[in-house]
Structure 1
Amino acid sequence: MKNTRRTFTIGFKILAASMSIHCGRVSDVAKELNISKNTLQHWKRLYQDGRFNIKKTSAEVSHINELVKLRKRIKELEIERDILKKAQNIFSRIDG
């Protein structure tokens, strides 16, 4: 039988670490969550040091980059629109 390594989300790790700080002993919380005491102590140390990093996937990074490009494009289009409005006002005064 293969041993499969369990993976936990950042949210779960933060929740477990905060539970161990606020709700009792590390061993009790680890037993309740069915994780090892050493793992929970490590998470608790990371949590207290503020070193939990949320890693962004390549898809998230590409979405962020696209969002930045789109926002830049929106600003450019708004500037162009404002210029056209001003030109329209100028030409309407000349014709009228």
Structure 2
Amino acid sequence: MKKRRVFDETFRKMAVELSHAKGSVQEAARELGIDSSRITKWRQSHKSSSQLASSAAGLSEEQKLIRRLQKELKEAQLERDILKKAVGIFSRGDGKFSDL
């Protein structure tokens, strides 16, 4: 029997944010090793709390640059957090991953 994977709210939020930062649910799902339909479902349920910024119309070039850099920073921070979590999972010392 296949064991059902359970994801905590922090992971779900991080996955949703990563999918927005990447601009692709499929790319984020592939990176996280989960089914893209899960992220789509999480995005729908988190829609009110994770609204994207309004369109860039009417912004100065500096404001556009700031917005782009903020998006890149957020993506890098999310990737870092995912890697930190992965390192924590794989370094628990349960013996399963000792041949790495």
Q: Structure 1 or 2: larger helix share? A: 1
Between structure 1 and structure 2, the one with the greater Rg is 1
User: More relative contact order in 1 or in 2 (CA 8 Å, sep 6+)?
Assistant: 2
